Amino acid sequence: METIDWKNLGFGYLKTDYNIRCTYKDGEWGELEVSNSEYLNLHMAATCLHYGQESFEGLKAFRGKDDKIRIFRMDENAMRMQDSSLGTMMAILPIEKFEEAAIKAVQLNKRFVPPYESGAALYIRPFLFGTGAQVGVKPSNEYMFILFVTPVGPYFKGGFQTTPFVIMREFDRSAPLGMGKYKVGGNYAASLVAGAKAHELGYSNVFYLDSQEKKYIDECGAANFFGIKNNTYITPKSSSILPSITNKSLMVLAEEMGMNVERRQIPVEELATFEEAGACGTAAVISPIERIDDYDLKISYIFSFDGKPGPISEKLYKKLQAIQYGDEPDTHGWVTVVE
């Protein structure tokens, strides 16, 4: 058996032993199947390849001090995938099938769940796509669901740290009545050019404004935004952002810590009034923001002068991670222990 250097794992793909598959045909989902192949045999006219009938999810399993493995809020991911199916006219995968697949994949790949001390985790990637052959723009009548897992390293190698973001009005990620609220591959393809330009300029990612008026804060790369001021956690309300499960969880924790929580439109100028700002999502939990440079107006909104995150971001980050790793009790029913 190969040995894995858990501490130096990145966010890449590492082959594991098994993945779980399920096909939809003749109007119904089949049984879950276990596969040890990394490849699939796909019709060249499959709708996923031509018309973007595809959605995906991302969640994690964590090994605790007690050696138990916990999956975080998988029911939420299952429901969000159903929503993505509604948005792309794909077959709806039952919540129970999604959960059963996740548990099975973790059980069968237990040796790839990183040890507690490493700060690494097992990333779970479910995805669903149209496999039926079509040439006209029509939804497929056949689908495939696959769920694979791969170990990923701690997001912050040098400790919890801030990074800079950039506002560039020449790019939109999604339209107000478009697909931004669904977790579909096309949104990522649409963000690659902007992301590459941001990286070239030395930023960790693009900070998106609403595409209609460019007045309000939308998303932070492929993560949700939150700002902190006057003991209040503020996150954008928008029809084009992806409803992050991490953000939803942080809002609950912030309230429990005695903070106010606001979900509303945030004018971009309001950035100047925040004491702390961060991006949130499964990959990092919280990625604290050092500063946001407005590339077009040549203004900077600065949140950290020493690279260190603010105290509230740090507290929220630690609290959520403690629940995920089982260091603190799961009082919300967020965690599923895999036996």
Ligand X SMILES: *Cc1c(COP(=O)(O)O)cnc(C)c1O
Catalytic residue numbers read: 183
Verify binding: residue 179, ligand X, rule CB under 6 A: no
Please tell me the distance from the alpha carbon of residue 143 to that of residue 48, in angstroms, as a whole number: 9
Residue 25: CB minimum distance to ligand X, A = 28
Residue 256: CB minimum distance to ligand X, A = 18
Verify binding: residue 246, ligand X, rule CB under 6 A: yes
Q: For the window 272-311, what string marks contact with ligand X as x by the rule CB under 6 A? A: ---------xx-----------------------------
Of residues 88 and 244, the one with the C-beta less far from ligand X: 244
Stretch that binds ligand X, among 30-38, 63-71, 239-247, 318-326 (CB under 6 A): 239-247
Q: Are 124 and 99 in contact (CB under 8 A)?
A: no
Stretch that binds ligand X, among 23-31, 112-120, 219-227, 263-271 (CB under 6 A): 219-227
Provide the token pair at 312. Answer: 């509230």
| Paired strand residues for 71 | 61, 336
Q: Are 319 and 246 in contact (CB under 8 A)?
A: no
Of residues 9 and 250, the one with the C-beta less far from ligand X: 250
Verify binding: residue 55, ligand X, rule CB under 6 A: no
Residue 220: CB minimum distance to ligand X, A = 8
Burial (CB count within 10 angstroms: exposed 0-12, middle 13-18, buried 19+), residue 120: buried
Please tell me the distance from the alpha carbon of residue 36 to that of residue 216, in angstroms, as a whole number: 46
Spell out the residues 6+ positions from residue 58 whose beta carbon is closer than 8 angstroms to its own. 77, 123, 124, 125, 282, 283
Verify binding: residue 124, ligand X, rule CB under 6 A: no
Of residues 30 and 176, the one with the C-beta less far from ligand X: 176
Cα–chain center distance at 160? 18
Distances (CA, A) of 142 to 22, 44, 89, 91, 271: 11, 14, 11, 8, 46
Of residues 151 and 281, the one with the C-beta less far from ligand X: 281
Stretch that binds ligand X, among 30-38, 88-96, 221-229, 287-295 (CB under 6 A): 221-229
Stretch that binds ligand X, among 27-35, 112-120, 238-246, 320-328 (CB under 6 A): 238-246
Of residues 132 and 163, the one with the C-beta less far from ligand X: 163
Q: Are 161 and 303 in contact (CB under 8 A)?
A: no
Ordered DSSP codes for 198-251: HHHTT-SEEEEEPTTTS-BEEEETTEEEEEEETTEEEEE--TTS---HHHHHHH
Verify binding: residue 219, ligand X, rule CB under 6 A: yes
Q: For the window 181-200, what string marks contact with ligand X as x by the rule CB under 6 A? A: --x-----------------
Stretch that binds ligand X, among 110-118, 194-202, 237-245, 320-328 (CB under 6 A): 237-245
Question: Pick from 61, 81, 146, 222: which binds ligand X (CB under 6 A)?
Answer: 222
Verify binding: residue 223, ligand X, rule CB under 6 A: yes
Residues binding ligand X: what is the number (CB under 6 A)? Answer: 13
SS3 assignment, position 291 = strand
The CA angle 319-322-323, to the nearest 5 degrees, is 90
Residue 120: CB minimum distance to ligand X, A = 17
| CA terminus-to-terminus distance, the chain | 23
Of residues 101 and 132, the one with the C-beta less far from ligand X: 101
Q: What residues line the site for ligand X (CB under 6 A)? A: 58, 183, 219, 222-224, 242, 244-247, 281-282
